[in-house]
Amino acid sequence: MDIDKDKELPIEFLRECLSYEAETGILTWKERPAEHFLHSSRADGGFNTKYAGKKAGCVMARGYVWLTLCGNLHFAHRLAWAIHHGRYPDGVLDHDNGDRTDNRILNLIESTPEKNSRNQKKRITNTSGQMGVCLRKDTGKYRSFIQAEGKRIWIGSHDTFEEAVAARKNAEKHYGYHENHGR
């Protein structure tokens, strides 16, 4: 089969390679036909013996499940979406509950980069313990800010950490941030 490795794989090809269980989010390798392995000295290079019927993919450094197909790494959640819906997502996919390994179809939501950023985990570099709140050492006051419409919006300067957090939480509601944002 002639597959362009730099593009999204045809859905018919994905369905020949993988089965997807929407309720569990698990992709499983199928027994694959010999024409999938034209570059191997043995028809399937032992693939079917080793992998057919087994869970596909593994968790990589960024916390997503990836799998190798046609020599390239692919996000399992994008392949799951394509197999289930018969098309690739138009934009990015967001894991609604924030668990990047949970590829159940009800947890995958088509999104935009901006909307997806409204459902982020707190970064390990966060020093205040609250997203969008920082202490100004020169004044001793807490500043709160939020990203919206591609810009950083400064909400205000506050005497206490609690006031800054409350202001940030109100801004999150106003700008439509996900309830899990900053968990």
Model-level pTM greater than 0.95?
no
**Mean per-residue pLDDT, 122-135:** 75
Q: Count of residues for the chain?
A: 183
Domains (range + CATH), the chain: 11-115 (3.90.75.20), 122-174 (3.30.730.10)
- For residue range 16-26, what is the model confidence (pLDDT) as tens digits? 999 999 999 99
User: Is the dihedral angle over the CA atoms 28, 22, 111, 181 positive or is it negative?
Assistant: negative
Q: Residue 39, Cα to own-chain centre: how many angstroms? A: 32
pLDDT beyond 60 at 2: no
pLDDT digits (tens, 9 = 90+) for 32-60: 887 887 665 555 668 888 999 999 999 99
d(CA 113, CA 37): 36
Q: What is the pLDDT of residue 183?
A: 59
Residue 1's pLDDT is: 47
Nearest alpha-carbon partner for 168 in 127, 140, 137, 129: 129
Q: Would you list the DSSP string of the chain?
A: ----TTSPPPHHHHHHHEEEETTTTEEEEPP--GGGGTTSSSTTTTHHHHHTTSB--EE-TTS-EEEEETTEEEEHHHHHHHHHHSS--SSEEEETTS-TT---GGGEEEE-HHHHGGGPPPPTT-SSSSTTEEE-TTT--EEEEEEETTEEEEEEEESSHHHHHHHHHHHHHHTT--TTTT-
Two tokens, residue 78: 């994008």
> Which position has the token pair 């028809």?
43
> Tokens representing 180?
């899990």
Q: Are 73 and 66 in contact (CB under 8 A)?
A: yes
**168/118 Cα distance (integer angstroms):** 13
